[in-house]
Chains A and B, each alone.
Chain A
Amino acid sequence: MPWLTLLIVVPLAAGIVAALLPSATARLVAAVAGLVTAGLAVAVLFEFNRTVGTGQLTEHHGWASEAGLEWTLRVDGISLWLVLLTAGIFGLALVAGFLHMPARGGAQYLGLILIAEGALLGLFLAGNLLLFYVFWESMLIPFYFLVGMWGSEGRRQAVMRFVVYTMVGSLIMLVGIVATAFIARDVTGQFTFDIQALQGVAFSDTQSRWLFAAFALAFVIKLPMWPFHAWLPDTYRTAPIVVTVLLAAVMSKAGVYGFLKIGLPLFPGGAAFFQNVLVLLSVVSILYGSLVAWRAPTLRLVVAYSSIAHLGFILLGIVTIDGQALQGAVLQMVNHGLVVASAFVIVGIITQRSGREKVADLGGLAEGAPWLAGAFLFVTMASLAIPGSNAFAGEFFILIGTFRHHWWAVFLACLGIIYASVYMLRLFQRTMNGPRGQVSGSTVEMRPGDFVLLVPLVAAMLAIALWPQGVLRTTGPTVDRVLAPAQVALNRPASQVRARVPVNPPEEALPLPGDPEPTAPTPQNTQVPTP
């Protein structure tokens, strides 16, 4: 079965169909398509061979082959979890859409969500730089309309800022993509955009740095990382809450994924060169996001800025270039998706039913809304990464790995952990505890539809909290492979490099695709035994 193609085509096709149908049918079509896609993602999980670190379930078809554009799809240990996250969160969003459709243009709304899902899945599965770029840009289109048409006050300006901001980054990335292919042709004699075929190309230091910078700029804007986050607060504030969930939980992972898929494996020299800058900027993101979240006035902004801090942790785990940290970062990508999605769902419940956006207007909601208070408490604790939560596992591993190389960054990041407890408790206590505010708790209490959304999210968080190894054992080989070139570029001790570094053009025979080679490259024993 062409699982990967189906994963992309089903939501895209269903999206186009749904947009044309009357809304009563459209919502059924959309919900079914969302669940089918989620089912397909689970099927991929079962088809996946977790001992292999390279891309697998490969599908390859020509498209505009003369221009280098080919329909190449692969899934590896990292994209597997992002695909599951995407399909899961979008599935929930579509179910939410089934339960509460917007009054105006509901069919188009659901159709656009499905198209966004298809584009994001395509991005996570793309095995070709041009295809990656096509999906990277095409996911902007549905989000543009979703925010621009169904958003709240100030949406036009916000969405323009969002689109223009990300376009700046992605156009520079396009230049980088083309340059990569041409420079690689000069080195290897082969003109290709295939990501796997481009690995190990011996770029010169200067080339590697510039190319890495071109890609990294697009990625850090998408994340976003401080100081490139200006698009985020307004977009998260004005977008419909479901779209905010999708942006924060799934789309933000696109930038992180770019570093893992392209940044580190293709341009290890550049990654090594910019490492310290990126570590510093991620720490700044953590502290800045935490501090602003502490003082932000509205519920949504608190969660939005906390998201900047959390993504800072994830980026820290990546750019520190360490196996344990990167394992933690991949785990944390899934965790952050789950946590921020449920946080926004709860914020959405509170703000929509109470009609209040400001933290100061609320208070004492726990009195009439015990279930909501319980769920909110759970999410608060997961968000501040209390030990025992799923997010703790991720942050713990990230920081262990970071500690090995940048202990100062860990001490600063720990300040972020303390601030996280401050701002999340502020949010929780100001809304749920204390004297009653302008709204009584019973108006915001959870309804059956809310349980449909929150129960799967909470269940997934608990599962990861109890058994993170379930994720880690799948991502391990991929992480080792992604990391190895950058580790070599940084002259890390051989004991830490746990995968073979590809060489392109190959000095000897190419390793077979999917070659399981978990051990470190041992130096060749050059001593000839004396007779």
Chain B
Amino acid sequence: MGISLMYYLLVSGGLFALGLAGVLIRRNMLLLLLAVELMLNGANVALIGFSRHWDVTDGQIFALVVMVVAAAEVVIGLGLIVAVYRQRIVLDVDELDQLKG
């Protein structure tokens, strides 16, 4: 049966927690994007793990969809970062608080 579900979930949870921590403490936009990517992949690992465990392919298909969406998201994210960089120079998200109520 190979690796048990437990290890998948541990890795997945680890990756996700790492990404979350990055999102919460990092201030650079590029790193933020990286951290989000980490979280997505943590979720992907969990999906694939469950897919193996229950022996259905749904999870793998989901993972593929997530990858595609993530790629698209990175494109948009990077585009936004470039646009911000051209406008404001800084990439510190704490400086970008125009939506403050």
Complex A–B touching at CB under 8 A: no
Question: Which B residues fall within an 8 A CB radius of A?
Answer: none
Question: Which A residues fall within an 8 A CB radius of B?
Answer: none
